[in-house]
C-alpha cells in the first residue's frame, strides 16, 4: 500500500475485505502466507491503532507506515501495542539528505527508527527510478544491516522503487551476495509485456 492510507476511493476497510480472503486462501492451498503490508498511517495515533486492529483482526501480518508523516511519537505509540510486522516507508527522506547543509545522514537517522521498533526498512534500490544513486542505496543497506546492540538486531532491508528482474544480479553482487532482503517489484511485475503472471515468473527466475 506504501503511501496509500484510507482515501474515499480506496478505504482501508474495503482493501482488507478484498485482499485478506485471497491471502488466507493462498495460505490454505500452498502452506505459505503472503506478507501484505497494509497502509495504516494516520496523524491521530488512536486512529492509526484502529487501522492496525482492523488488519490484525482480519488475519493480516504486516503494516506499512509513512514514518515521516506519523513521526517518532506515532511510531513509539504503535510499536508498544502492535502485533504486526512494521514496514517503514521513508517518505520525504530526500528532503533531509539531498543538501549537505540540511538534515542528517541516513546512517544516523535510521538508527532512531530502528530503536523505535521498525522491522523492515525501505531504502530504494539499484538503478532506482528516483534521484538516489546506487552508492547511496548500498550505504543505506549497510546501515540498516549493521547491528546496534547484538548480532541479530538488524532491520530487514527492502529494495524497491522500480525494481524488476534485470536489477537482481547487480543487487545480489553489491549487497554481499545475501538473500536476506525484500525485493519489491510492483512495476516490474504488472508492467511485464506478457502480463503480471509472467512478471512474477521473470522476477523469480532472476
Interval 80-106: pLDDT, tens: 999 999 999 998 887 888 777 877 889
As to burial, measured by CB atoms within 10 angstroms (0-12 exposed, 13-18 middle, 19+ buried), residue 44 is exposed
* Residue-range definition of the domain harbouring residue 200: 12-205
Domain with 158 in it: what CATH number?
Answer: 3.20.20.110
The model's pTM is 0.92
Closest CA to 114 of 126, 124, 101, 123: 123
Mean pLDDT of 32-49: 95
Q: Would 177 be classed as within a structural domain?
A: yes
Looking at the 3D structure of the chain, how many domains does it have? Answer: 1
Q: Would 119 be classed as within a structural domain?
A: yes
Contacts of 81 (CB under 8 A, 6+ apart): 49, 52
pLDDT band at 198 (very low <50, low <70, confident <90, very high): very high
H or E segment to which residue 45 belongs? helix 45-57
The answer to whether the beta carbons of residues 123 and 137 sit under 8 Å apart is yes
Interval 3-32: pLDDT, tens: 788 999 999 999 999 999 999 999 999 999
Amino acid at each position: 500500500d506504501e503511501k496509500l492510507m484510507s482515501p474515499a476511493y480506496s478505504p482501508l476497510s474495503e482493501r482488507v475485505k478484498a485482499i485478506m480472503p485471497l491471502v488466507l486462501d493462498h495460505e490454505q492451498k500452498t502452506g505459505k502466507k503472503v506478507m501484505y503490508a497494509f497502509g495504516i498511517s494516520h496523524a491521530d495515533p488512536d486512529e492509526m491503532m484502529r487501522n492496525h486492529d482492523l488488519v490484525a483482526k482480519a488475519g493480516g501480518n504486516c503494516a506499512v507506515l509513512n514514518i515521516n508523516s506519523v513521526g517518532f511519537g506515532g511510531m513509539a505509540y504503535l510499536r508498544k501495542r502492535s502485533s504486526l510486522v512494521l514496514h517503514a516507508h521513508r517518505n520525504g527522506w530526500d528532503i533531509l539528505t539531498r543538501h549537505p547543509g540540511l538534515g542528517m545522514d541516513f546512517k544516523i537517522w535510521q538508527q532512531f527508527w530502528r530503536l523505535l521498533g521498525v522491522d523492515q526498512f525501505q531504502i530504494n534500490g539499484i538503478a532506482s527510478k528516483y534521484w538516489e544513486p546506487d552508492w547511496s542505496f548500498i550505504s543505506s543497506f549497510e546501515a540498516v544491516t549493521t547491528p546496534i546492540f547484538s548480532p541479530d538486531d538488524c532491520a530487514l532491508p527492502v529494495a524497491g522503487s522500480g525494481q524488476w528482474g534485470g536489477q537482481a544480479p547487480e543487487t545480489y553482487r553489491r549487497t554481499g551476495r545475501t538473500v536476506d532482503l525484500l525485493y519489491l517489484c510492483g512495476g516490474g511485475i504488472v508492467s511485464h509485456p506478457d502480463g503480471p503472471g509472467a512478471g512474477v515468473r521473470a522476477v523469480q527466475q532472476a
